[in-house]
């Protein structure tokens, strides 16, 4: 019988939980925005973990600036975070951490805006026209 969850999925979930706590409690860099770890994908050989994050822009910085600075801070702290993760997760080799901005939220907002625009255009169409334009 096949397992419901692969080992890499379980390791990724544990890394996501522990990493979210570590970033919140241990990294004090003021350039780091409000970061949320949205997904962790671990390679089959457990050599790499691709960490996808979202960030909330606070203050007068643009979202692009916050994304760039947060990615820089996280990539610079990757060694420290990997060391701290290895203390809590017992693996033979802790995966290398690679941080990526998760664009799915922004893509979802964009698609939602397009759907809303189409719906408003459809609802503002005169009612006396039928589907054939007559």
pLDDT tens string 10-67:
889 999 999 999 998 988 888 887 889 999 999 988 899 999 999 887 777 788 888 8
- Confidence class for position 76, pLDDT limits 50, 70, 90: very high
Would you kindly state where each structural domain of the chain is located, as residue ranges? 7-105
Q: b/e map of 33-43 (b: 16 or more CB within 10 Å)?
A: bebebbebbbe
pLDDT on residue 64:
84
Note the pLDDT tens digit of each residue in 103-121.
887 788 888 888 988 888 8
What's 7-105's CATH class? Answer: alpha beta
């Amino acid at each position: 019988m096949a397992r419901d969850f692969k080992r890499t999925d379980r390791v990724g979930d544990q890394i996501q939980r522990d990493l979210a706590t570590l970033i919140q409690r241990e990294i004090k860099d003021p350039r780091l925005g409000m970061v949320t770890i949205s997904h962790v994908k671990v390679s089959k050989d457990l050599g790499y973990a691709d960490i996808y994050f979202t960030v909330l822009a606070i203050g007068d910085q643009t979202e692009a600036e916050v994304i760039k600075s947060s990615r820089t801070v996280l990539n610079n702290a990757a060694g420290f975070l990997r060391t701290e993760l290895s203390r809590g997760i017992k693996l033979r080799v802790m995966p290398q951490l690679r941080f990526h901005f998760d664009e799915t939220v922004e893509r979802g907002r964009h698609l939602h805006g397009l759907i809303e625009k189409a719906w408003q255009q459809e609802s503002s169409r005169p009612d006396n026209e039928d589907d054939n334009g007559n």
